[in-house]
Amino acid sequence: MDVKSELLAVLDETLGLQGRAAGFDLDTPLLGALPELDSMAVVSLIAGLETHFGITVDDDDIDGSTFSTVGALVQFVDGKLAA
């Protein structure tokens, strides 16, 4: 499974980026850099990741650094999939 490309697809769909996420790399900043990623969108993104990857995200699993970059979010999802 290519977690990065699947995560980018979820990100693109959830935030309505119209394909822009396809150009993101691991260093692409997210929280604070994408106007579409506000606090309400974070909740929607978490729900989308849970559904797509079949993971469960508890409130204490996440903080702002989880959504700092694409790479940080990929690492988070990888960790959840490995658990």
pLDDT tens digits along 21-61:
999 999 999 999 999 999 899 999 999 999 999 999 998 99
The CATH number that applies at residue 61 is: 1.10.1200.10
Sign of the CA dihedral running 33, 82, 57, 9: positive
pLDDT category of residue 64 using cuts at 50, 70 and 90: confident
Question: pTM, whole model, 2 decimals?
Answer: 0.93
**Domains identified in the chain, total number:** 1
Q: Is the pLDDT of residue 4 over 90?
A: yes
Mean residue pLDDT of the chain comes to 95
Radius of gyration of the chain (CA): 11
pLDDT category of residue 82 using cuts at 50, 70 and 90: very high
Distance of CA 31 to the CA centre of its chain: 10
Domain limits at 33? 3-82
